[in-house]
Structure 1
Amino acid sequence: MLDGCTPWPEEFVDRYWAAGHWRGNTLDNLLRGWALAYGPRTALVHGGSRITYAALNRRVDRTAAGFRLRGLRPGQRVLVQLPNVPEFVITVFALMRIGVVPVLCPLPQRASDVAHLVRVTQAVGYVGPSTHDGFDHTAMAADIAAQGPFLRRVFTYEAPGTSSPFGGGLTTDPAGCHYSPLGSIDAPPERALTLSADDVALLLLSGDDGAEPRIVPRTHNDYAYQARAAAESVALTENDVLLAALPAASHLAFGCPGIIGALSVGGAVVLAEASDPAACLAAIGRERVTVTSVTPAVARLWLDALAEARADLSSLRLVQAGGAPPDRATAGRIAAAGGCRVQQVFGTAEGPLVLTRPGDPDATVPATHGRPLSPDDDIRIVDAEGNDVPDGEPGELLGRGPYTVRGYYREPELDARSFTADGYFRTGTLARRTPDGDLVVTGRGDRTPGPAAGPRTRP
């Protein structure tokens, strides 16, 4: 376990292994298996480009070797702040393949938060666009590198048709930070490293209450289980096409089941760089998208644009709606417009994940968030004194389970406030349990770790 992380107690480790939740395979090694099983099938779609599973795995191999040549080593941390492009998926898997821990950072995060993340994680690298939507990410990285001893490698992504300010090679600034175009990170594959599925696979961000982002360590075992179980909960198959319209670095888009879940079953992932209604609605019709995830705000924008867009949504079978409380009106509009099922989802990067199921009664879906993902999720709803409340009464939602972390990364004081002595995570959200056993998240309490759709952003 990475230094600064809290492991699960042995009795829970044994329980999750015995139940088959944890299977001892790293995410990057799972990709090798998916490439063997689904090699010629399309894995990623971005605009007019398509990448097969076999090609994706080859690019991950060569990028991983290229990162090694640039000096990255197992156990180090690298911030990844990229739009929804194939390079995001390739970079994350390539870093994991050489034992480097990617820190998934949404694009809107700016200098104060990124500098905080570099400082806390002691990140040695940053992968981001040269510029995006008029913001100079390279200049931000250079400023952060000049302020401290950690950040020394910056890899810049350039959109197709644009050129890198560094040309095709390596540039070094006066602070000793090295800059390379991400497209130049390529080398013949090396012998595979032996990595442990108990290790931290990636660091996610949580928190939208105005505080600095909280850093959430997720292991290969727990994140692979979460994505797999979420995919099973919606009967995801190789015939599904998932549209990733929310930021790929967000929890909902990446692993609920998201990109990881779709790849795990041989499905195709369509990467949309923005949730723009015209572009996303057109992509649904063009690529015959079957599953996508939205926030209620994004859903309303799409629905309002439908008449003018004249989009063909007939391929959609499921739309995940992430957020709390449940938005009944929007869920009803989605179902009517797309002729599809809606899945209400609530979760945090820390866990637990609560969602409705496709087979739930029609009255359940718009009004509740359903049930926890895992049969081994322990859920409590408690009052201000920590006592369990009766069904139907509101209280704070607490959870622990095979994909719910036991602590933040290098935050012992925050852990003391956020986790109970027996390992329950205090979500900071108010919820109640219905007589049928479904959960309804109704709002936020005093401590608000943030929704599954991703962390808050700061100007």
Structure 2
Amino acid sequence: MLDGCTPWPEEFVDRYWMGGHWRGDTLDRLLREQVAAGATRTALIHGDTRLTYGQLNRRVDRMAAGFRLRGLTARQRVVVQLPDVPDSVLALFALMRLGVVPVMCPMAYRAEEMARVVQLAQAVGYVGPSSYEGFDHTAMAADLARGPFLRRVFTWEPPGTSSPFGGATVDGAGCHYFPLASLDSPPEPMPAVRAGEVALLLAADRVRLVPRTHDDLACQVRVVGEAVSLGEGDVYLGGDVVGVLGALFAGAAVVLAEDVVPAAVCEEVTVADSPRTSANGESNGVRFVRDHVHSTVEGIVLCVTDGGAWVVPPGDDALVAGAEGGTGELLVRGPHVVRGYYRESGTDRFSADGFLRTGIRVRQEADGRLVRG
């Protein structure tokens, strides 16, 4: 496992394998399985752009080869900060296919947060817009490149606004800048990646990163997808990484949009993260993820029962600390719950026996249901 990560004890590794929670699938393999199952099905929708699963896979192949040609190698970390556009999904899978660890950051992060992320992850690359909503991301990346780590910047431009032929530059600090659209190289064999390795790092807050292995993230994606009954016929309005991966691995179509209400109506969305897809807050036939499951970047998954209470998925352990028959803090551990933050030891969020302190106060009923209180 990547240095700076807390591994699961062997007894839990055996338990999760024997229970079928971990299946040895990398996230890239799960995408390829959907390509094999139906390459002509729609995978991504963004405005007038449509990518089938086959087209998505071919573009990932070519982008991964482009990343390698520009000096990236397995186990390096690369920050990805892109809006809801197809290139955000392409870059995610291309980096993972190469064995590089994407560090996924929200668009709201600015210089202070990004400096912390780059330093903590020791990120050698940055994938982001040249500018977005009035903010100059390239200038921010140039400032970050004055440090000891960042040496590759890949800039995204809206389609039709940049040339895919060249445009590479080098600054005084020795950092290379490439248009993301120029990463289009002939596919080549990629290094083998193991499911127990870290697939990506997710920003938990403005100071922490969460390491997610292929095994544990695939487990979370599967549990969340089953809770929402995601399937091949669904159209999912893109939200967080877990949701997008869950939709793709279920064979659904993913709609990427910033103006979500018209997109939800136009594309006949069936599943979305929250009622933000509706102008009046009503479902209009859309299944909202949050009505079925509570999920976090640390891997916490709490399934919502018909009565509005929570239950933990099979394979998870839950404790209610300090309850004494009443209300207390919920602690969880399981095959999709991380054991620690990246490069952070001794945090009080995790107990000595691997439970994550959720900060949620609940009361546990006799039948195991958890009632928030």
* TM-score, reference length from structure 1: 0.78
1:137 aligns with 2:114: no
Aligned residues: 373
| Paired position in structure 1 for 2:58 | 58
| Residue type of the alignment partner of 1:398 | L
Output one character per residue of 1:212-240: Cα deviation in whole Å (capped at 9) or x when no partner.
Answer: 42111000011011111211222211001
Matched-pair identity in %: 54
Aligned partner of residue 132 in structure 1, secondary structure? coil
The 5 Å alignment of 1:436-451 reads 437-442=368-373
Q: Of 272, 277, 293, which residue of structure 2 is paired with 1:292?
A: 272
* Aligned mates of 2:157, 2:370 — CA distance in 1: 44
| Residue type of the alignment partner of 1:153 | R
Aligned partner of residue 51 in structure 1, secondary structure? strand
| Paired position in structure 2 for 1:231 | 225
Are the structure 2 counterparts of residues 422 and 24 from structure 1 closer, same or farther at C-alpha, using a change threshold of 3 Å?
Answer: same
| Paired position in structure 2 for 1:172 | 170
| Residue type of the alignment partner of 1:222 | D
The 5 Å alignment of 1:35-50 reads 35-50=35-50
The 5 Å alignment of 1:402-421 reads 402-414=335-347, 417-421=348-352
Aligned partner of residue 355 in structure 1, secondary structure? strand
Are the structure 2 counterparts of residues 352 and 413 from structure 1 closer, same or farther at C-alpha, using a change threshold of 3 Å?
Answer: same
* Aligned mates of 1:441, 1:190 — CA distance in 2: 51
1:389 aligns with 2:324: yes
The 5 Å alignment of 1:284-323 reads 284-294=264-274, 298=276, 302-303=279-280, 314=284, 316-321=285-290
* Aligned mates of 2:26, 2:299 — CA distance in 1: 20
* Aligned mates of 1:139, 1:441 — CA distance in 2: 45
1:21 aligns with 2:6: no
Cα deviation, residue 420, structure 1: 1.1
| Paired position in structure 2 for 1:191 | 189
* Aligned mates of 1:236, 1:120 — CA distance in 2: 35
* Aligned mates of 1:96, 1:142 — CA distance in 2: 25
Output one character per residue of 1:48-95: Cα deviation in whole Å (capped at 9) or x when no partner.
Answer: 110000000000000000000000000100000000111000000000
Aligned partner of residue 74 in structure 1, secondary structure? coil
| Paired position in structure 2 for 1:309 | none
Cα deviation, residue 410, structure 1: 0.6
Output one character per residue of 1:328-368: Cα deviation in whole Å (capped at 9) or x when no partner.
Answer: xxxxxxxxxxxxxx43x333211321121xxx43xx13xx3
| Paired position in structure 2 for 1:399 | 332
| Paired position in structure 2 for 1:270 | 255
Aligned partner of residue 23 in structure 1, secondary structure? coil
Does the CA-based 8 Å contact 1:118-1:150 persist in structure 2? yes
Cα deviation, residue 163, structure 1: 2.9
Output one character per residue of 1:240-278: Cα deviation in whole Å (capped at 9) or x when no partner.
Answer: 11011x4xxxxxx221xx111111121100011x2xxxx
1:350 aligns with 2:289: no
Cα deviation, residue 21, structure 1: 1.0
Which sections of structure 1, spanning at least 5 residues, go unmatched? 247-252, 307-312, 322-341, 443-459
Q: Runs of at least 4 residues of structure 1 off by over 6 A? A: none
Cα deviation, residue 434, structure 1: 4.1
| Paired position in structure 1 for 2:93 | 93
Segment of structure 1 superposing worse, 76-85 or 183-192: 183-192
Does the CA-based 8 Å contact 1:61-1:189 persist in structure 2? yes
| Residue type of the alignment partner of 2:221 | A
1:163 aligns with 2:162: yes
Does the CA-based 8 Å contact 1:351-1:399 persist in structure 2? no
| Paired position in structure 2 for 1:380 | 319
Q: Of 354, 359, 363, which residue of structure 2 is paired with 1:428?
A: 359
* Aligned mates of 2:134, 2:158 — CA distance in 1: 13
